[in-house]
Amino acid sequence: MLDIDKIRRDFPILSTNIYGKPLIYVDNAATTQKPQAVIDSIVDLYSNSYANIHRGVHHLSQKSTGLYEESRVTVQNFIHAKSSKEIVFLRGATEAINLVASSYLEPLLTEGDEILLSEMEHHSNIIPWQMLAERLKAKLTIIPLLESGDLDMNSISGLLNPKVKILAITHMSNSLGTINELGPIIEQAHDRDIPVLIDGAQSVAHIPIDVQQLDCDFFVFSGHKVYGPTGIGVLYAKQQYLENMRPYQGGGDMILDVSFEKTEYNDIPYKFEAGTPNIEGAIALAAALNYISELDIAEIDRYERELLDYATAQFNAIDGLRIIGTAKNKGSIISFVLEGIHPHDVGTIMDMEGVAVRTGHHCTQPVMDCYNIPATTRVSLSFYNTKDEIDAIVKAIIKVKELMG
């Protein structure tokens, strides 16, 4: 069992007051708060170990390099990759998707080819593919959503035709909470020799991830959504793909030998890490993953599902509140609309009650279009949230109704 009181003490910001009321932070799908262990890892690096990596023979450079590469192994172990060579550090999931679009898919894509996405994708898993398709006269094809927030699984087989060159799909929807059953989807794609990219930006903080068991070809996530810092993220890719992909950017550290006539590129994963990297970001991300591992991600999943069930029951009891996304398998996200009240007004009033929610389209405008709504209010829960906080959120929603009714 998680010791929630102890966990909350690990997060300094949770003791903050907002407008004289205790902060209730439920905007975790946008970004998570940071435990003291993550904060300390950054301070310790800059205080005791900082230097540029991979290039120096002096003590500090060797020490920083060791910490950085240990962080790569930590990520490998956390997502159960086969090798640390399959872990590329980038700025976030968005850059990782752009890298795969540019370095893997662009050389293979021709006019009339297709890129298969789902209707629940975050804009970051739409726009890079859309830009590429426009340049090369390819097209996007879309797995449709059902009213429940589940994907239309019956449509997938027909959409996986010989023109499809990649399937890029979210593991967990940031606006609906839906956790997609990826095993059968990946199996169908691989039966047709179609590689699969998984957007794990939401799932990685909530459920156990095993990329070998999933058998996905690419998996991406951002550090700041998994209790680490901003500006750091991960691309996992099977080794054979990385070895055959062209570099994404040119510069220092991604080369072995340079002349004006020819450049020999570095081995993987360094071929994709041009320039001085986010050293402290990688090290702090490892601290975040170690923190989660100590708590046990399976126990986090159990507790958050308990919170979700409790919150769902409480929200469903509020007249005029409609939950958007009712899939049976959900992560700890509830998006809702209140009859006759714009989500921005909901969020503003709830903020005055100390409740930090997210309002808007959540970078999933196609999802909003599917439900014929402009926006929702989103409550996204973490293992540091409590049932008492959910009760306070319900009171805040009722206050919104009283003020705006």
Same domain (yes/no): 213, 333: no
Bond prior to 22 in cis (omega within 30° of 0): no
Q: Which of 294, 324, 352 is the last residue of a domain?
A: 294
Q: Residue 345: which CATH number? A: 3.90.1150.10
Q: Which domain holds residue 365?
A: 4-30+296-404
Distance CA 94, CA 288 (A): 20
Same domain (yes/no): 109, 73: yes
Same domain (yes/no): 310, 287: no
What pLDDT, on the 0 to 100 scale, is given for residue 405? 78
Please identify which of the residues 363, 373, 386, 394 carries the catalytic annotation.
363
Residues 229, 293: contact at Cβ < 8 Å?
A: no
Same domain (yes/no): 128, 183: yes
Q: Which of 165, 173, 225 is nearest to 197 (CA)?
A: 165
Same domain (yes/no): 155, 172: yes
Same domain (yes/no): 215, 288: yes
Distance CA 157, CA 15 (A): 50
Same domain (yes/no): 48, 19: no
**pLDDT for 178-231, tens place per residue?**
999 999 999 999 999 999 999 999 999 999 999 999 999 999 999 999 999 999
What pLDDT, on the 0 to 100 scale, is given for residue 2? 96
Q: Residue 170: which CATH number? A: 3.40.640.10
Same domain (yes/no): 313, 380: yes
What pLDDT, on the 0 to 100 scale, is given for residue 55? 80
Same domain (yes/no): 186, 333: no
Q: How many structural domains compose the chain?
A: 2
**pLDDT for 100-149, tens place per residue?**
999 999 999 999 999 999 999 999 999 999 999 999 999 999 999 999 99
Residue 363 is among the residues annotated as catalytic for this protein: yes
**pLDDT for 346-368, tens place per residue?**
999 999 999 999 999 999 999 99
**pLDDT for 49-72, tens place per residue?**
999 999 889 999 999 999 999 999
Q: Which of 278, 294, 310 is the last residue of a domain?
A: 294
**pLDDT for 9-32, tens place per residue?**
999 999 999 999 999 999 999 999
Contacts of 25 (CB under 8 A, 6+ apart): 13, 14, 33, 356, 382, 384, 385
Same domain (yes/no): 257, 309: no
Same domain (yes/no): 115, 237: yes
Same domain (yes/no): 99, 141: yes
Looking at every residue in the chain, the average pLDDT score rounds to 97
Pairing between β-strand 355-356 and β-strand 24-25 as defined by DSSP bridges = parallel
b (16+ CB within 10 A) / e for 318-327: beebbbbbbb
Q: Which of 236, 271, 294 is the last residue of a domain?
A: 294
